[in-house]
Amino acid sequence: MTLVGTVIALGFWPGRMDADTLNEIDEARRGVYTDQHSPVLQALWHPFVGIGLSPAILLLCQILMFIAGTYLILRLVLTRRVATGCACLLALFPPIMGTLGLVGRDTWFTVLTVFGFGLVAAALRRTGRRRTALLILSLVVVWFALAARQNAGPAVVIIAAFSIGLLRHPPAGRSPDRPLRIRTALSALTLAVLFVVLSMASLSGINRLLNVRHFSQLGTLQIYDLAGLSRADGRNYFPATVLKDRTMTTLSLRSNVAS
């Protein structure tokens, strides 16, 4: 799995980067953050960018984490060798591989979510302290997934519910009756929602400490829309207060579908 992940990383080295990636790297380098991307993760990246660490290291880590998470999930139903082969094939599947090559918060969120489910799957096959350690680690992964994307809550709350439920009620030899299972599941889900809310609150507090500035997401989308419509119609739809050049010259030179 490490060999396959390394080969994939070498194919994208030092990583596929779009406009968002370049913004993330720039903010991480300067140590000045907005809430457009993942300020907490960028702040953790800041000292490494300062010493010249290549984004390719993140590329390799995210690919290996995806393969590892996929493998741990598949091990619930497959043998070790078959799960290894399937995890590698999934990583090589073109739509997935293309996403894994992108360095940025979308990939970080996806990879962390898969890895979080993988840790829960691994915990189901273990007992005692190992199970507890894996479940606690899965909750840490949930926190980082929330740091990657502000809207990660609906996805990672499921991981948190499984983790908290297994921590409070480890599987016994005899299956409990239906009413008890329902109460246990509702209790775990309630605590999971509380955990996600508290995690988001902690991230908000860290954002304040980092002096994260608000970024208008809708404003950015409007810029893309106006630029795209202007290029399609051959007419400058931007207001003069924003773009003084009323011809299409500036738009043709400075805008494209990626930036």
Q: Is the pLDDT of residue 253 over 70?
A: yes
- What's the pLDDT at 143? 93
- Closest residue by Cα to residue 141 from 123, 167, 118, 122: 118
CB neighbour list of residue 150: distance below 8 Å, 6 or more residues apart: 35
Reported as a pLDDT band with limits 50, 70 and 90, residue 95 is very high
- Closest residue by Cα to residue 234 from 217, 222, 251: 251
Cα gap 233→216, rounded to integer Å: 26
Peptide linkage before 47 cis (omega within 30 of 0): no
Q: CA 49, 254, 35, 12 torsion: positive or negative?
A: negative
Q: In the predicted model, what is the mean pLDDT of residues 60-89?
A: 95
Task: List pLDDT tens digits, range 141-173.
Answer: 999 999 998 888 899 999 999 999 888 877 665
Residue type, 61: C
Residue type, 42: Q
pLDDT, mean over the chain: 88
CB neighbour list of residue 42: distance below 8 Å, 6 or more residues apart: 24, 27, 28, 33
Contact between residue 103 and residue 45 where contact means Cβ atoms under 8 Å apart = no
- What's the pLDDT at 166? 87
Q: Within 10 Å of residue 253's Cβ, how many Cβ atoms?
A: 9
- What's the pLDDT at 170? 73
Integer angstrom CA distances of residue 222 from 23, 105, 230 = 18, 21, 12
